[in-house]
Structure 1
Amino acid sequence: MKKEEENPSAENPQKLLNLTTKPSKRWAAGVPAVVAALTDLVEEGIPLRGLRALAKMNQKGGFDCPSCAWPDPDDERSVVGEYCENGAKALAEEATSKKLTARFFRENSVYDLALLTDYEIGKKGRLTEPMYLRNGGTHYEPISWENAFNKIAEHLNALDDPNQAAFYTSGRTSNEASFLYQLFAKEFGTNNMPDCSNMCHETSGTALSATIGVGKGTVTLDDLHEADVIVVIGHNPGTNAPRMMSALEKGKRNGAKIIAINPLPEAGLLGFRNPQQLNGVFGNAVQLADLFLPVRINGDMALLKAIELLLYREEVRSPGLVFDWDFIEKNTTGFEAFVMHIRSHNLEKLVDAAGLSIDLVRQAAQILSDKKRIIFCWGMGLTQQPNGVDMLKEIVNITLLKGSIGIRGGGLCPVRGHSNVQGNRTMLIDEKPTARQLDRLRDVFGFEPPRAHGFDVVKTIHAMHDKRLKVFFAMGGNFISATPDTTYTAEGMRKVNLSVHVSIKLNRSHLVHGKEAIILPTLSRSDKDIVNGEAQFISTENSMGVVQSSKGILDPVSPNLINEVQIICRLAMATLGSRSVVDWGKYHDSYDAVRDVIEKCIDGFENYNTRVRQSGGFYLPNAARDGKFLTEQFVDKAPFTISPVPEIQLAEGEYLMATTRTHDQFNTTIYGLEDRYRGIKNERRVVFMNEKDIKSEGFKDGDVVDLYNYDDGIERKAPLFIIVAYNIPQGNVVTYFPEANVLVSINNVVGESNMPAFKFVRVRIRKHFDVK
């Protein structure tokens, strides 16, 4: 068999590069961030084009950053630049001058491309025309737009059941495209709509919907500036949302105390040099965290309960000075049972389970005890834990005790990842739509949407494996690299009859594909979007519920690109034809027409076209932000909840592993090979490990090891990782994704939200080639 006929690897090449290490940093941003951002523009051959685009990114009337979903200021925005290092890198990636033409695919087989790392694949350039991989083919070939849509329609219409297709969504998809995408899927007849929320903040939505009645955060950017205490837990702002550090700095300047809780002492939690200010360039870093608690992996629940117990004891000593009794009586239910539960715990056992000293926990409780304007910010360090829903409910418990929701300077702040991932869900990208949402669609469009819940990401992968899924369509993203259990997922993907990816750049999901595969290139956020001679704009929703316009300014890299709305409409017309009751042609030519119909279907979008044209956009309604709690079980009452503290027992030689991203990375996009703040350069296959654990296992810093997971009775192996001694709790290790995703069992999920638990993986570590 020729190598081109073999299945290419679903993983990054298992080879080591040339690791160099430095001491980890104690501060983030500053001049190095500016240099790194500008260097990427030069490397992509776009210094002038890139700078022109950066000047309009995140500005009013400009375009929304394609990276994270952190909000822009409501008032004036920085003339120096309203973006961060990683936003600039994201812009460089999509505005690159490098192009992938038919000749590139003719000269490079799928097999050979799969031998490249994700970093190398991403640096090849922008996709310029639709490409098709025939059954048994070794190379992608060009295909016309018309033939591409006809081929997809042929596959979809040949299905025995619409539920044999799944329609995945990435966070970069606009509000307009997201709405039409889910509309097409429902008119086609399925709610199989897995999306990237299923892998990042589904846990947040699940916990918050059940407790405060809104599956989103409750704060605005100004609230962070006015808070008395900001708790950052399970999140690394220096890498995952760098502009958040400006908000933390402003809050700190206004008197806020900041508590940082994370297994790793991340630079962005400790100090900040603001590159937009002179003292950030020439002065010392601003210390952000007043208190850092290096909790062990999954020790957060024990820590939160220990804090609650200390707050309760302080309230007993000083009645009325710790708990907000007026808020508790008017707005909550279940308080008595909750207090009985907290009183039943042993403080020393909780502190030990958290892996912390009693002194640190007491300091945290003391900071919170006499404050009301408290904000909790969290990321995937909590949401990707098996008990993540319970832990977020516990955070809600603390804010209910303190009366910290529905007030200025207080509330809940899930730090969302990809730009517009929250907007996708608002636009009804959801495998579990509500009856009310479906009724609205029925009344507006005149067809009966399917009522049965569809597949989320994990269920989609299982359905691929079981051959219940025949067609997989992805609106953006890199499904193979983003998902868990890489080998299992790849085996499933190869069983589908057709995989389709709407993308701006090549990624590994184009190389691990169905029996047939199609790549549909589209415009990026920064590209001009011209329809019938008129420049269009899309809209997005940031992580604090602001809907705003986004209008690209750069000439597209190819005249053969069409926008996502047009892709969806042409797909719908080709697939549904005369049996459709939706006027897809009208929406194909007008974003305004799409926004007009969104207004009819989704609450909060009244006068959408008028308000989205306002400078800075508009806020969506948020009942919990206004102090109103409307859950399925309670009216005007937020319930206190009772959750157990997990008992984590590791066998001898077993460790808890969490995956994380490098600083030179956003989700599955690899910008470079330097994790600057952690001191790692020219390598991604590393495992961070406590020095005492290294010695007890007979290893040394720099040893090459293999990592193993044995969930479900299956041996999963990630070979060739280099040990790096690091300040991390004993018994814990941290690796990068997607390199370690192969170790995450498809069945290792978060309770209730069914998200992959990337932050809680049991592993064993052996020297490379050691076959004990």
Structure 2
Amino acid sequence: MSNTPRRIPGDDLGRGAPGVAARGRGPNRQGEEPSQHDDTAPSAGWGAARSVLKVLARTREPANGPKAVMKMNHENGGFDCPGCAWPDDIKGLHLDVCENGIKHVTWEMTHKKAGREFFAAHTVTELSGWSDFALEDQGRLAEPMVYDPATDKYVPIGWQDAFDLVGTALRGLASPDEAAFYTSGRLSNEATFLYQLWAREFGTNNLPDCSNMCHEASGRALQASLGTGKGTCDIKDWEEADLLIVMGVNAATNAPRMLTALAEAYRRGVQIVHVNPLVEAASRRTIVPHEFGAMAAFRPTDTGTMDVQVRIGGDLALLRGVAKAVLEAAEDDPSVLDREFIDVHSAGFDAYRELVRRTEWADLVRQSAIDEEQIRKLARAYLRSDRTIISWCLGLTQQDHGVDTVREIVNLLMLRGNIGREGAGPSPVRGHSNVQGNRTCGIDHRPTPQFLDVLDEVCQIDAPRAHGLDTVHTIKAMGEGKVKVFVALGGNFALATPDTDATDAGLRNTELTVQVSTKLNRSHLAHGRRALILPCLGRTEHDMQASGEQGVSVEDGMSMVHISYGMRHPVSPDLKSECAILAGMARATLPASHTPWESYTADYDRIRDTMARVLPGFEDFNRRVREPLGFRIAQPARDRVFLTASGRAEFHESPLPDVVPPEGRLVLSTMRSHDQFNTTIYSDNDRYRGVKNLRTLLFMNREDMAARGLGELDLIDITSHARDGSTRSVYGYHVVAYDIPRGSVAGYMPELNILCGLGDYSAQSDQPLTKHQLVSVTASG
């Protein structure tokens, strides 16, 4: 891309209207003026209740909506919320739900359908000019469709013809590595296993997934430090901890059921520290909806005891500052360190201690933007705590040094033995409902030889050993013509990825794109020369196969696996389950395969029986998954068994990164609004940040605004500066004053994903740097 800023045109509202083309326009954009207001109401509570009622009214689900609420996240014949991966309540709570989960479910349960009549009335070119909200608002996809280039429309196709089209295209490739198989976190464990089995029997490890863009850094860091790619905590640990440090996440939006754990912890006297550039709603107060007395009395509970507003990217410096204070305290009182853990269970402590000793306080303060006394205050809280959990999300991982930052979390926890005991440990917050299960069940472009050896033996295949492509490198390969067939199971790849122009061009450069989806989205319009839309069942719907109704399992963010059953008839008789669609495509691709694809589809117990033989921790899968609350996958690190090369937990010497932006530049972090789930936008409002009727905005420190002569809601242009020297710009955004450190700014994804160049990804994790973009901001001309 040239060094000249690329102009993103405005829409039909004219120059000065906020926006990137027509994308991101929600239902409230009806001539209402954007505004910001002071909203100090507690998270959840009546605000959430009112929001849910509006959603139920808009989707016209006054009966099924409440019924679904009572079935969500409930082990007795219920279905798993397709939203976040926060663990289900283990005490039999009947309303273990949240505002965004209900929105997500009712969005899936809509009465609207997009079938052949809809597609006959609209060309793809026309639909490409629609907003993302308008596309999804057409309702559930009702039947399989194929792109007709002669008319520029999608037209109906029979299921078998669709499967044959996929099989013919894949068999016609010069190499299996000319195909890529993308996965979102919506897939069940059973579908995930079939998906990776199909790809590997076909002959490729090109299995990019949404983890490549979110928690890849966490997995790599934890694997290197502890010998596991997952956190070690469960929900009981959260009930035993006396210090919770929550980093880089706004739980009120991204994992709202976590608010219950925070409120209960506060009542127990737990210290709760929120580390985030923005002071978010989750760090203030909440009214938990199932606490009826509190709701009736409008009696909120605090959810935090300390806010630490670190600069974007400064988390590693903050953590090292706390470690430095702890090690200094140990010079006077050696008992503050857990010497038994350090000496018996860890390696590398002396080198780490020396690294910390050499790190100057001035550098830690400058890089974190937190003064020394506040860092020491956090350290004192850590020293007083017997059981500490550190939890984090994408605010830490979507950084150039994300792996090092997560390893620094483990370093700090190990100093006081907060690994492998109750009420303590690392606890990443996973975003999508089964994104962790996807990786557990085989979606990994870098599979281990041990996994492949067992898979080959049990399934009688010859899986490839070469590593495959992740998300960023799949986009690059499509653009270069090296990936010719792209299959996506769920998600909205065209919008969720970085450098959306490059992603769009890559998808259009393929021979065939296949999208298995529930609703129309941007990825159906950025398609290959041939394209299929294959509509699948939602998690709320009954899945009837030859042997009867089927359940599917998911793994939550704390390694609990449980089964889920739908509660309503499918919205269309032409839908198939994920497993059935995958088996159909696999058989068409591999007609001589000995894999019993049809048998797997007829009875998912047979899939689970095979999984039990392949996956560690899934032994006796069919019985254990049907137990109340399911089962927890064994975590060796939780028992202080560390599957690292040394057999010990590894301290790591990470260099201190320079994250202070150069003069005149700012660091941008993208994030969700409250009324949003991933790329699905429910409205243009962000209740907890006090914004109405606006998504094309930039939150900015008032002093940074004044230095640029900007006032509240002024129009601005934002330009990103990539490593390769190229720039990308958006125009006509609104600036919103916010409590955020100087030099840091924030705005919404997916609108600002376009600013992240495809080459701007971490060398440590290959994750796009969507939360660490160097930008300049000027008044719109």
TM-score tier by shorter-chain length is: over 0.9
2:20–2:730 Cα contact (<8 Å) kept: no
**Of 626, 631, 639, which aligns to 1:613?**
626
| Cα distance between partner residues in 2 of 1:357 and 1:735 | 26
Q: Superposition pairs for residues 313-324 of structure 1, below 5 Å?
A: 313-320=328-335, 322-324=336-338
**Of 669, 672, 679, which aligns to 1:668?**
679
1:14–1:720 Cα contact (<8 Å) kept: no
Q: CA deviation at 1:118?
A: 1.5
Q: Superposition pairs for residues 566-605 of structure 1, below 5 Å?
A: 566-578=580-592, 580-605=593-618
The residue that corresponds to 1:5 in the other structure is: none
Q: Superposition pairs for residues 273-672 of structure 1, below 5 Å?
A: 273-277=287-291, 278-320=293-335, 322-532=336-546, 534-578=548-592, 580-631=593-644, 633-635=645-647, 637-672=648-683
2:24–2:681 Cα contact (<8 Å) kept: no
Report whether the alignment pairs 1:63 with 2:79. Answer: yes
Structure 1 counterpart SS, 2:776? strand
Partner deviation per Cα, 1:348-394 (whole Å, 9 max, x = no partner): 33122211222321210110013230000000000101101000000
| Distance change >3 Å, CA 564–CA 726, structure 1 → 2 | same
Q: CA deviation at 1:82?
A: 1.3
| Cα distance between partner residues in 2 of 1:35 and 1:27 | 13
Report whether the alignment pairs 1:695 with 2:706. Answer: yes
**Of 233, 249, 252, which aligns to 1:238?**
252
| Cα distance between partner residues in 1 of 2:771 and 2:269 | 33
Q: CA deviation at 1:505?
A: 0.5
**Of 725, 728, 739, which aligns to 1:713?**
725
Q: Superposition pairs for residues 65-214 of structure 1, below 5 Å?
A: 65-77=81-93, 79=94, 81-135=95-149, 137-214=151-228
| Cα distance between partner residues in 1 of 2:557 and 2:671 | 21
1:30–1:281 Cα contact (<8 Å) kept: no
Partner deviation per Cα, 1:530-557 (whole Å, 9 max, x = no partner): 1126111000000000110000011111
| Distance change >3 Å, CA 14–CA 416, structure 1 → 2 | closer
Q: CA deviation at 1:704?
A: 1.0
The residue that corresponds to 1:4 in the other structure is: none
Tell me the amino acid that sits aligned with residue 647 of structure 1: D
Tell me the amino acid that sits aligned with residue 60 of structure 1: E
* Count of residues in correspondence between the two structures: 755
Tell me the amino acid that sits aligned with residue 82 of structure 2: P
| Cα distance between partner residues in 1 of 2:273 and 2:250 | 13
| Distance change >3 Å, CA 706–CA 137, structure 1 → 2 | farther
Tell me the amino acid that sits aligned with residue 649 of structure 2: A
Normalised TM-score (structure 1): 0.96
Partner deviation per Cα, 1:471-525 (whole Å, 9 max, x = no partner): 0000111001100011111111110011110000011101111111110000000
| Cα distance between partner residues in 2 of 1:262 and 1:222 | 25
Mean CA deviation greater in 385-394 or 703-712? 703-712
**Of 739, 745, 748, which aligns to 2:760?**
748
Partner deviation per Cα, 1:301-350 (whole Å, 9 max, x = no partner): 11111111111111112221x11111111110111111111111111331
Tell me the amino acid that sits aligned with residue 93 of structure 1: W
The residue that corresponds to 1:679 in the other structure is: 690
Tell me the amino acid that sits aligned with residue 673 of structure 1: D
Q: CA deviation at 1:281?
A: 4.2
2:23–2:751 Cα contact (<8 Å) kept: no
Gapped runs of 5+ residues in structure 2? 1-18
Tell me the amino acid that sits aligned with residue 389 of structure 1: V
Tell me the amino acid that sits aligned with residue 605 of structure 1: F
The residue that corresponds to 1:52 in the other structure is: 67
Partner deviation per Cα, 1:689-730 (whole Å, 9 max, x = no partner): 111111111111111111111312222111221000111111
| Cα distance between partner residues in 1 of 2:334 and 2:465 | 51
C-alpha RMSD of the superposition: 1.4
Partner deviation per Cα, 1:671-702 (whole Å, 9 max, x = no partner): 22210000111111010011111111111111
| Cα distance between partner residues in 2 of 1:533 and 1:409 | 43
Q: CA deviation at 1:747?
A: 1.4
Q: CA deviation at 1:255?
A: 2.5
| Cα distance between partner residues in 1 of 2:174 and 2:152 | 29
Mean CA deviation greater in 499-508 or 698-707? 698-707
Q: CA deviation at 1:626?
A: 1.5
Structure 2 counterpart SS, 1:148? helix
Tell me the amino acid that sits aligned with residue 92 of structure 2: E
Normalised TM-score (structure 2): 0.95
Structure 2 counterpart SS, 1:652? coil
| Distance change >3 Å, CA 11–CA 210, structure 1 → 2 | farther
| Cα distance between partner residues in 2 of 1:39 and 1:159 | 49
Tell me the amino acid that sits aligned with residue 401 of structure 1: L
| Cα distance between partner residues in 2 of 1:570 and 1:670 | 32
Partner deviation per Cα, 1:440-469 (whole Å, 9 max, x = no partner): 111112221111000000110010011000
Structure 2 counterpart SS, 1:674? coil
Structure 2 counterpart SS, 1:230? strand
1:440–1:601 Cα contact (<8 Å) kept: yes
Q: CA deviation at 1:38?
A: 2.3
| Cα distance between partner residues in 1 of 2:597 and 2:701 | 57
1:275–1:281 Cα contact (<8 Å) kept: no
| Cα distance between partner residues in 2 of 1:50 and 1:750 | 42
Partner deviation per Cα, 1:609-628 (whole Å, 9 max, x = no partner): 11111111000000111121
Partner deviation per Cα, 1:224-265 (whole Å, 9 max, x = no partner): 111010000111111000000101112222221111100000
| Cα distance between partner residues in 1 of 2:380 and 2:366 | 19
Structure 2 counterpart SS, 1:305? helix
Tell me the amino acid that sits aligned with residue 471 of structure 1: V
| Cα distance between partner residues in 2 of 1:763 and 1:552 | 46
2:87–2:557 Cα contact (<8 Å) kept: yes
Q: CA deviation at 1:137?
A: 4.3
2:147–2:531 Cα contact (<8 Å) kept: yes
Tell me the amino acid that sits aligned with residue 49 of structure 1: N
2:24–2:133 Cα contact (<8 Å) kept: no
Report whether the alignment pairs 1:42 with 2:57. Answer: yes
1:26–1:266 Cα contact (<8 Å) kept: no
Structure 2 counterpart SS, 1:133? strand
Structure 2 counterpart SS, 1:443? helix
Tell me the amino acid that sits aligned with residue 123 of structure 2: S
1:748–1:757 Cα contact (<8 Å) kept: yes
| Cα distance between partner residues in 2 of 1:32 and 1:108 | 38
Q: CA deviation at 1:290?
A: 1.0
Tell me the amino acid that sits aligned with residue 149 of structure 1: F
Report whether the alignment pairs 1:13 with 2:23. Answer: yes
| Cα distance between partner residues in 2 of 1:253 and 1:227 | 12
Work out the percentage of aligned pairs sharing the same amino acid: 42
Q: CA deviation at 1:12?
A: 4.3
| Cα distance between partner residues in 1 of 2:641 and 2:23 | 52
The residue that corresponds to 2:773 in the other structure is: 761
1:170–1:195 Cα contact (<8 Å) kept: yes
Tell me the amino acid that sits aligned with residue 279 of structure 1: A
